[in-house]
Structure 1
Amino acid sequence: MEVVFTQDVPNKARAGEVRRVPDGYARNYLLPQGLAEIATEEVKKRIHKITAVGDEIRVRETAIMEELAKGMDDVTITLTARITPNGRYYGAITSTHIAMELAEKLGREVERRWIEIAEPIREPGEYDVTLRFSTEVSATIHVNAETEE
């Protein structure tokens, strides 16, 4: 089935692109979620006009994200948590904890979905965490995980 994507779908397509996708994927996921529409000539014309405006917005957003990423490279945050007798945390430090601490340090909102960690931090130590603002823009921050007194 040929669809026009109305929003960016990671690892699939960007908004405004026309792609052929499996029928089930379109019917069960893309269309109900509002991520795409069936590609008719009318929809293609409408999306073409919207895409021009979207490209302008995307360029502006990318510039803002690049500026934000520039200031992140030398940022270090420290998080603490209680540990068990065998040296592991009772819980874990997750992307939510990192986002809250980073937002407090920077004085601006940081979305949890920007933070990429393979798995939650369960032991004290120093970690490098990637912040992916968009497909083109990313930064790395340093996270010090310490024990709570």
Structure 2
Amino acid sequence: MKVLLIKDVYKLGHAGDIKKVADGYGRNFLIPQGLAVLATPGAVKQVEQIRAQASVRRAQLNNEMSGLAEQVKRITLAFPGKAGETGKLYGSITGQMVADALSTRLGVTIDRRQVEMEPIRALGDHKARVRLTIDVIPEIKIVVHREGETVQFDEPVAEKVEAPAAEESAE
């Protein structure tokens, strides 16, 4: 099925693009959510208008989020966790935990789906990306340390956030 995107869709395309998608994805998600319409000849005539409106909207949103992105870049999150002698955590640090810590610190709601990272299962320094918009994706530093130890930061950071202890998970 060919659809015309009305809004930017992460990992699919920008507004105004015509994409070929699976029938179920288009019929059950994109069209009901108002993200796309069927690529009919009448809809294709409106491509330039949709692209122009979307680029203005995207530029405005990126401008608003750039200030938040600068704040996010300066943050270093520190998570205490229980770990074995090899440095492997008994639980893991998940995207939900990072999103909650960022939301608490910034006072802005960050969804777990905006945090791009694999679950962290080892002590040390890690990086995660926070997708604020389709174009603005700042990177944050995450330090995982043993419970009871003090955190040693390699470089001076503007802001440090001590996050709650990692939950133990039955794996």
Do the aligned residues in 1 keep the contact of 2:7 with 2:54 (CA within 8 Å)?
no
Cα separation, 2, equivalents of 1:129 and 1:48: 35
What pairs up with 1:1-149 in 2 under 5 angstroms? 1-19=1-19, 21=20, 25-33=21-29, 34=31, 35-45=35-45, 49-84=49-84, 87-117=87-117, 119-149=118-148
- Where structure 2 has 5 or more consecutive residues not aligned to the other structure, the ranges are 149-171
**What are the Cα deviations for residues 91-145 of structure 1, in whole angstroms up to 9, with x where unaligned?**
210111011111112222122222221x211112121222232332221211111
Instruction: Provide the C-alpha distance between the structure 2 equivalents of 1:135 and 1:7, rounded to a whole number of angstroms.
Output: 11
Alignment correspondent of 2:168: none
Q: Larger deviation: 72-81 or 82-91?
A: 82-91
Contact 1:78 1:144 in 2 (8 A): yes
Residue 125 of structure 2 aligns to which amino acid in structure 1? E
Contact 2:61–2:133 (Cα < 8 Å) also in 1: no
1:3 and 1:32 map into 2 onto residues whose CA distance is 13
Does structure 2 retain, via aligned residues, the 8 Å contact 1:115–1:131?
A: yes
SS in 2 for 1:122: strand
Residue 86 (structure 1) shift: 5.2
- TM-score normalised by L of structure 1: 0.79
Q: Look up the equivalent residue of 1:135 and give its one-letter code.
A: I
Secondary structure, aligned partner of 1:92: strand
> Which letter does structure 2 place at the counterpart of 1:7?
K
The question of whether the paired residues in 2 share the 8 Å contact of 1:83 and 1:89 is answered with yes
- Displacement of 1:49: 4.4
Query: Identity over the aligned pairs, expressed in percent?
Result: 28
Structure 1 residue 27, shift from structure 2 partner: 1.7
Deviates more, 1:65-74 or 1:46-55: 46-55
Q: List runs of 5+ in structure 1 lacking aligned partners.
A: none
What is the aligned length? 144
* Offset of residue 76 of structure 1: 0.9
Displaced runs of 4 or more, over 6 A: none
Please give the secondary structure, in 1, of the residue aligned with 2:88: coil
Relative to 1, partners in 2 of residues 1:121 and 1:110: Cα closer, same or farther, differing over 3 Å? same
- Would you tell me which structure has more helix in proportion to its own residues? 1
